[in-house]
């Protein structure tokens, strides 16, 4: 991979990390009155995959959707405004953190119903195939979602029709506070594709280069009409399942466990590589940090200055 590509991936991961850290820091101010599920530690997956998608390719996400929205070039001010419940938010302030949608950038939906968006991604791929468009649809979901029946129905239909869809499982080894090994008879999620004659791979989800390469292959397979791929990215969630802090108090993992997990930080490892090869200097990194800070300050100001929706609009944009 060229150093330009690596620097771009690094910058995207760092930006998402800083955005989520800022959300965590600002959360106690109570301007964001929705639950937040942070992806801190998991940035390599959305960045390595979405970097190779075009604006017309579709992605679908979950309750943990900030990183997906941002990696797909979702606009930051509209995301923060959405978290503030403001009318300028990407869902007019009606969705909050778990329901980020921005059709213009190909972020087609996210939902708190575990596995709920997997069939929607298959539906997009069905339409893309019918239109012979060479577009790709991606379903991001967690290891917990792979326990839902709809996951298997979606795999079957996608493989049967050779649809251009990528099932991107972010296996952070936890569903709320329950470890994967306590819930699943086999923890090898990628292997489940075999039952449907589907291509699959297990990938180090903390290594953005590995994510990029595996995604490149899956995207090429989808665009050339050869069908879906199930990618299982092994990664690690640093913060609490929900909320801005950590979850040591819950008792299922210790501070030491989390510190061990943090050693595979996708950003730190790439940063070391870029600095040691001279592809990036400390001054370059400083400039990047300053740029992100300025962007964040402007986005939070935009959210704070925006109006709330009018009560009279409450029945707009709903099915009834």
Ligand X SMILES: Cc1ncc(C[n+]2csc(CCOP(=O)(O)OP(=O)(O)O)c2C)c(N)n1
Query: What would the two tokens of residue 134 be?
Result: 């060479």
For the CB of residue 49, give the shortest distance to ligand X in the complex, in Å: 16
* Minimum separation from the CB atom of position 116 to ligand X (A): 7
Closer residue to ligand X, CB minimum distance, 86 or 241: 241
User: Is 257 in a helix, a strand, or coil?
Assistant: helix
Residue 33 buriedness (CB in 10 A; 0-12 / 13-18 / 19+): exposed
Q: How far apart are CA 85 and CA 303, in angstroms?
A: 9
230 forms bridges with which residues in the sheet?
Answer: 167, 200
Q: Which two tokens stand for residue 198?
A: 């589907």
Which spans of this chain sit near ligand X (rule: CB under 6 A)? 63-64, 112-114, 141-145, 172, 174-176, 241
H or E element, residue 202: strand 199-204
**In the complex with ligand X, which residue's Cβ is closer, 164 or 205?**
205
Q: How far is the CB of 277 from ligand X (least distance, A)?
A: 33
Q: Which residue, 64 or 86, is less far from ligand X as judged by CB?
A: 64
Provide, rounded to whole angstroms, the least separation between the CB of residue 314 and ligand X: 24
Residue number with CB closer to ligand X (48 or 144): 144
Nearer to ligand X, 119 or 144 (CB): 144
Which C-beta is closer to ligand X: that of 59 or that of 296?
A: 59
Between residues 182 and 320, which has the closer beta carbon with respect to ligand X? 182
CB of 290 to ligand X, least distance (A): 31
The nearest distance, CB 141 to ligand X, in angstroms, is: 6
Beta carbons within 8 Å of 223's beta carbon, 6+ residues apart? 134, 135, 136, 164
Output the residue with the shortest Cβ distance to ligand X.
142
- Running DSSP on this structure, what letter comes out for residue 82? H
Query: H or E segment at 105?
Result: none
Q: What is the dihedral of CA 226, 55, 94, 169, to 10 degrees?
A: 40
Tell the smallest beta-carbon distance from residue 113 to ligand X (Å): 5
Tokens 């940063």 correspond to: 271
CB of 152 to ligand X, least distance (A): 15
Q: Which residue has the tokens 């991961």?
A: 13
CB nearer to ligand X: pick between 129 and 203:
203
Over the range 257-296, which residues count as b (16 or more CB within 10 Å of their CB) and which as e? Answer: ebeebeebbbbebbbeebeeeebbeeeebeebeeebeeeb
Cα 210 from chain centroid?
Answer: 16
């Amino acid at each position: 991979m060229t150093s330009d590509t690596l620097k771009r991936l690094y910058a995207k991961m760092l930006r998402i990390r800083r955005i989520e850290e800022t959300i965590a820091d600002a959360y106690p101010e109570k301007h964001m009155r929705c639950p937040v599920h942070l992806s801190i530690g998991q940035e390599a997956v959305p960045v390595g995959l979405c970097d190779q998608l075009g604006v017309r390719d579709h992605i679908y996400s979950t309750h943990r959707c900030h990183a997906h929205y941002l990696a797909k070039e979702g606009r930051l001010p509209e995301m923060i405004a959405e978290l503030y419940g403001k009318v300028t938010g990407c869902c007019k302030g009606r969705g909050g953190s778990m329901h980020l949608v921005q059709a213009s950038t190909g972020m087609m939906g996210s939902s708190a119903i575990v596995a709920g968006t997997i069939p929607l991604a298959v539906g997009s791929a069905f339409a893309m195939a019918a239109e012979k468009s060479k577009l790709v649809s991606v379903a991001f979901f967690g290891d917990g979602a792979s326990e839902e029946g709809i996951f298997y129905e979606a795999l079957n239909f996608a493989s049967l029709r050779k649809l251009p869809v990528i099932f991107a499982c972010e296996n952070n080894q936890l569903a709320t506070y329950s470890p994967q090994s306590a819930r699943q008879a086999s923890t090898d999620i990628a292997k489940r594709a075999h039952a449907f004659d589907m291509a699959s791979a297990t990938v180090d989800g903390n290594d953005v280069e590995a994510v990029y390469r595996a995604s490149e292959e899956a995207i090429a397979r989808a665009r050339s009409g050869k069908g879906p791929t199930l990618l299982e990215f092994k990664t690690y969630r640093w913060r609490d399942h929900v909320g801005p802090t950590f979850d040591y108090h819950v008792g299922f993992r210790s501070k030491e466990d989390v510190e061990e997990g943090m050693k595979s930080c996708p950003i730190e490892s790439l940063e070391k590589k870029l600095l040691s090869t001279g592809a990036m200097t400390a001054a370059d990194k400083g400039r990047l940090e300053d740029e992100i800070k300025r962007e964040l300050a402007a986005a939070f100001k935009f959210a704070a200055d925006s109006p709330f929706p009018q009560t009279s609009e409450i029945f707009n944009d709903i099915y009834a």
